[in-house]
Amino acid sequence: MLKLFRPRTGSRPTTAGPASTEMRGRAAEIADPAGLEWDVLWEALKTQPPDDDSIVLTQELGLDEERSIRSGFERSLPATEFSGTRNGRSVALRIGIVPTARGKGMNEVEVETCVAPFRIEARDGRLVAAPGAMPEVEAALGELAPDARIWRDLVVDGGPDGIRARRPVTAHPQGYVYDLWLVERLADRLDA
């Protein structure tokens, strides 16, 4: 299993909360992922039964297509995109995008939906909407506890083509798991 998906034993703090095995498929029940370790959220985000014939690490998330992609500048190493349909929407998880020659590696999560434009940035552990965001965006962010560890360096943009979360690979090794939960939560709230 890739390092990106493997829990590190002995190096993370213990938290009071459910075991990952108890949370399978229960992402909709999570009001705020603060305090949850990434592997608990990973289990909660699973929407598909395991497929023993699949070699795609994200298959149980409904992201059963994997491909190498080129991004940004010409000489960058290829990134990996996992894509598929989750909860009726096209979703893509991109790992290791390098947008410019001097850019840092980025991870992105994008969900296809049509929403009014907005921007969210992480500041001091809080997710903050840019001025002019819809009240629904502000309300959704108001339900989240500050957590500098899980929201570090996150930027979320929404608009008519979808909602995209991105952050440097170095910000949080499994930050994309929290980002997937967040963009789907926002899509559910704003898509209605």
Nearest to 150 by CA among 129, 130, 122: 122
- Percent with pLDDT over 70 in the chain: 84
pTM score? 0.85
At residue 53, does pLDDT exceed 80?
Answer: yes
pLDDT of residue 169: 87
- The residue type at 167: R
- Whether 47 and 61 have beta carbons less than 8 Å apart is answered as yes
Helix (H, G, I), strand (E, B) or coil at 160: coil
Average pLDDT in the 150-167 region? 96
User: Where residue 179 falls among pLDDT bands split at 50, 70, 90?
Assistant: very high
The CA-atom distances, in angstroms, between 189 and each of 61, 66, 88 are 20, 28, 15
Does position 16 have pLDDT exceeding 60, yes or no?
no
Please state, rounded to an integer, the average pLDDT across all residues of the chain.
85
pLDDT at 20: 79
DSSP state of 32: -
84-122: b (≥16 Cβ within 10 Å) or e? bebeebebbbbbbbbbeeeeebbbbbbbebebeebbbeb
Bridge partners, residue 69, by sequence: 79
The yes-or-no verdict on residue 73 having pLDDT over 70 is: no
Per-residue pLDDT at 24 exceeds 50 = yes
The answer to whether residue 9 scores a pLDDT higher than 80 is: no
Helix (H, G, I), strand (E, B) or coil at 70: coil
